[in-house]
Amino acid sequence: MQIIHHLADMTRWSNEVIAGGKALALVPTMGYFHAGHLSLMRQAGRLADHVVVSLFVNSLQFGPREDLSRYPRDLQRDARLAENEKVDILFVPTSEEMYAPDFNTRVRVNGITDTLCGQQRPTHFEGVTTVVAKLFNIIKPHCAVFGQKDFQQLSVIRKMVRELNWDIEIFAHPIVREEDGLAMSSRNTYLSSEERSKALCLNKAIQHAKARFADGLDDSDLLISEIRDIISANSGVSIDYISVVDKDTLSDKEVIDSQSVLALAIKVGGTRLIDNCFMGSDSQISN
């Protein structure tokens, strides 16, 4: 595995791969890999001849009071884990190269960024789409793999690719969970043992919702009220949002169907966690 830091070197390598008729898959990350990241890399390896994993803690997607400075970082550890997954390139650009002092361009996807996480983090998705657009142009992948845990992000990226006519196929990977049901996230490292136990209310809420829908409940307001009670029973846990939305438009749904998505965001202490599920099954967003 090679580690590439410079943008021009990354593009040069990609051009050689493409000229040789080989397919290239990208897994964009902010590093501090866990088993969920590694499963994305394995999926990418099944989709293409070569795999590039980008590792870049993107300042544009953090708000002024968010956790940019404390976001976990360990390049040596990440490089070792990526190499074990037979990744070809670990692309680790610097902020100085990605965003020159006079950088003043943004890529914005309107509409579906105004709800869910976009309500709480108004500049977040503009930062995500801008950095992903840059990565697509630098690396030129034939396909890219994103995790379904960041459900809104996945939807936003797909809309951007479709509307800007990029010839890139976006693949969704199902949420990877710990044995106790907590969705894997680099931010889980922030949680104390007590906070981690309380964070399990997310998966408890999801399992309750799926069981209630299977029993015939289709009133989203009633379901949201029940989930609010489950989460609020945990001291030190606050709710950012609980929503049942359409899988494509992310608009609120009054009547739940099998393709509705339950999306949740909470804060446990100072740590913000998200989770989601399709109400009807364990299916994922179709590729």
pLDDT in tens, 207-233: 999 999 999 999 999 999 999 999 999
Residues 19 and 143 in one domain: yes
Counted domains in the chain: 2
| Residue at 286 is within a domain | no
Average pLDDT over residues 199-207: 97
Residues 157 and 192 in one domain: no
User: Both tokens of residue 69?
Assistant: 């400075």
Judged against a pLDDT cut of 70, whether residue 287 lies above it is answered with no
Q: Among candidates 180, 143, 190, which has minimal Cα distance to 40?
A: 143
Average pLDDT over residues 37-52: 98
CA distance 36 to 186: 10
Residue 278 pairs in a beta bridge with 261
Question: What's the pLDDT at 281?
Answer: 67
- 5, 6, 34, 37: which one is catalytic? 37
Average pLDDT of every residue of the chain: 95
Determine the distance from the C-alpha atom of residue 32 to the mean position of all C-alpha atoms in its chain, rounded to a whole number.
14
User: Both tokens of residue 24?
Assistant: 């290239």
Residues 152 and 128 in one domain: yes
Residues 130 and 269 in one domain: no
Domain CATH code at residue 235: 3.30.1300.10
User: Both tokens of residue 179?
Assistant: 């044995």
**Has 208 been annotated as catalytic?**
no
Residues in the chain: 287
Query: Domain boundary residue among 173, 206, 222?
Result: 173
Question: What's the pLDDT at 194?
Answer: 97
Residues 57 and 102 in one domain: yes
Question: What's the pLDDT at 114?
Answer: 94
Sheet order of strands, 169-173 included: 2-4, 89-91, 50-55, 24-29, 143-147, 169-173
Residues 160 and 198 in one domain: no
pLDDT digits (tens, 9 = 90+) for 16-31: 999 999 999 999 999 9
Judged against a pLDDT cut of 50, whether residue 286 lies above it is answered with no
CA distance 268 to 277: 20
Residues 140 and 235 in one domain: no
Residues 133 and 223 in one domain: no
User: Both tokens of residue 259?
Assistant: 């393709």
| Residue at 37 is within a domain | yes
pLDDT digits (tens, 9 = 90+) for 149-191: 999 999 999 999 999 999 999 999 999 999 999 999 999 999 9
| Residue at 179 is within a domain | no
pLDDT digits (tens, 9 = 90+) for 79-131: 999 999 999 999 999 999 999 999 999 999 999 999 999 998 999 999 999 99
Residues 191 and 154 in one domain: no
| Residue at 178 is within a domain | no
Residues 116 and 263 sit within 8 Å (Cβ to Cβ): yes
Question: What's the pLDDT at 14?
Answer: 98
Residue span of the structural domain in which 168 resides: 2-173
Specify the residue for token string 């949002």: 241
- Please give the C-alpha separations between residue 187 and each of 14, 32, 153, 192, 273, in angstroms, as whole numbers: 31, 9, 17, 11, 8
Give the alpha-carbon dihedral of 33, 157, 139, 90, to 10 degrees: 0
Residues 168 and 141 sit within 8 Å (Cβ to Cβ): yes
How far apart are the two ends of the chain, measured CA to CA in Å?
Answer: 28
Average pLDDT over residues 202-209: 97
Domain CATH code at residue 129: 3.40.50.620
Residues 153 and 125 sit within 8 Å (Cβ to Cβ): yes
Which pLDDT band, with edges at 50, 70 and 90, does 65 fall under? confident
Question: What's the pLDDT at 282?
Answer: 53
Question: What's the pLDDT at 284?
Answer: 47
Residues 57 and 141 in one domain: yes
Q: Looking only at Cα atoms, what is the longest distance across the chain?
A: 58
User: Both tokens of residue 165?
Assistant: 């006519």
